[in-house]
């Protein structure tokens, strides 16, 4: 007789009235939790954002868990892949032997990870190795809620528009005090054109696909009109009713769906406190 495994029942509570889920009482450090990870894959499609606290993950286990969501991407800034596992991108203000172990002040604007490549990231898994006792919150915005909160005439206006996403443009604004991108890095990150409204490939639900700094312009519009529309959409997308603020604790693991969320890091006293975060990035498909 065939045997059937009991479906996994997750102990959950909402993070925000419109999106996000906290999963409690789940230890992902052991391979015994792999069936539960498959359940998390399904929940991510539905809820866009998942939080698990009190995790104790080795770098290897972090990568193993991430691979359950799909193939992993390697960040273009190779100097911050410092764990010995190239799948882990380090975000940190810490230096060792005179060199930074991670990228500091990364993501201090509203964005969706790797929107500047032709096939952007499906999702990201960010693990808190070391966090300040205050500050350094991360804000998450639901782009499903943002699109659905637009007036019908604005939805119709933007439904088929496309925009140019530029990593070079973003880097120049965010890291003007650093060495410029190398020719190899520029070659890996040419400007790309993405839809302003994208369709979730699993649920079919529509979402805004914009961002600060990373989106250079809305195509086929006069410059002033493009700038005004981008500013209006970006301001709308981060209204309080669409945003969840996460206050980090050591051992937190957050998974988010880059196809339907934006996020933004916030400042902290980086002279007083250390911060070490490990991010893996799951490959996605071309937006449509």
> DSSP secondary-structure letter at 39?
H
Q: Considering the candidates 16, 62, 246, 279, report the single residue annotated as catalytic.
A: 279
Start-end of H helices in 93-200: 143-148, 152-158, 167-174, 183-188
The active-site residue, picked from 47, 113, 246, 257, is 113
The Cα–Cα gap between 56 and 60 comes to 12
Annotated active-site residue 263? The verdict is yes
Give the separation between CA 33 and CA 54, rounded to whole angstroms. 15
Specify whether 111 is catalytic.
Answer: yes
Tell me, yes or no, if 113 is annotated catalytic: yes
Q: Which of 259, 263, 275, 278 is catalytic?
A: 263
Question: For the chain, where are the E strands, in sequence order?
Answer: 11-14, 21-24, 49-52, 89-92, 95-96, 99-100, 123-130, 138-142, 162-165, 192-195, 197-199, 206-208, 215-218, 243-246, 253-257, 261-265, 276-282
Q: Give me 241's structure tokens.
A: 């009713």
Catalytic residue among 47, 62, 111, 144: 111
8 Å CB contact between 62 and 91: no
Q: With beta carbons less than 8 A apart as the criterion, state whether 148 and 142 touch.
A: no
What is the C-alpha separation between 231 and 236, in angstroms, rounded?
9
Q: Which residues are catalytic?
A: 111, 113, 263, 279
């Amino acid at each position: 007789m065939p045997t059937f495994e009991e479906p996994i029942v997750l102990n959950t509570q909402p993070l925000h009235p419109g999106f996000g889920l906290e999963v409690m009482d789940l230890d992902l450090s052991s391979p015994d939790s792999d069936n539960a990870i498959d359940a998390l894959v399904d929940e991510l499609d539905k809820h866009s954002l998942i939080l698990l606290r009190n995790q104790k993950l080795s770098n290897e286990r972090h990568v193993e868990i991430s691979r359950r969501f799909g193939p992993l991407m390697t960040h273009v800034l190779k100097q911050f892949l410092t764990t010995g596992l190239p799948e882990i991108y380090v975000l940190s203000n810490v230096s060792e032997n005179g060199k930074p172990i991670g990228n500091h002040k990364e993501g201090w604007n509203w964005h969706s990870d790797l929107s500047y490549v032709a096939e952007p990231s499906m999702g990201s898994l960010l693990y808190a190795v070391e966090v300040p006792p205050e500050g350094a919150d991360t804000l998450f915005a639901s782009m499903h809620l943002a699109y659905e909160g637009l007036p019908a005439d604005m939805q119709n206006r933007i439904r088929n528009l496309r925009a140019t996403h530029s990593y070079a443009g973003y880097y120049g604004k965010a890291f003007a005090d650093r060495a410029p991108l190398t020719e190899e890095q520029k070659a890996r990150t040419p400007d790309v054109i993405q839809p302003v409204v994208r369709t979730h490939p699993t649920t079919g639900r529509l979402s805004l696909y914009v961002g600060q700094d990373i989106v250079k312009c809305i195509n086929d519009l006069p410059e002033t009109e493009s700038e005004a529309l981008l500013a209006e959409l970006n301001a709308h997308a981060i209204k309080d009713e669409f945003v969840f603020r996460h206050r980090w604790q050591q051992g937190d693991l957050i998974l988010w769906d880059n196809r339907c969320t934006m996020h933004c890091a916030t400042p902290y006293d980086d002279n007083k406190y250390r911060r070490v975060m490990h991010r893996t990035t799951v490959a996605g498909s071309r937006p449509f």
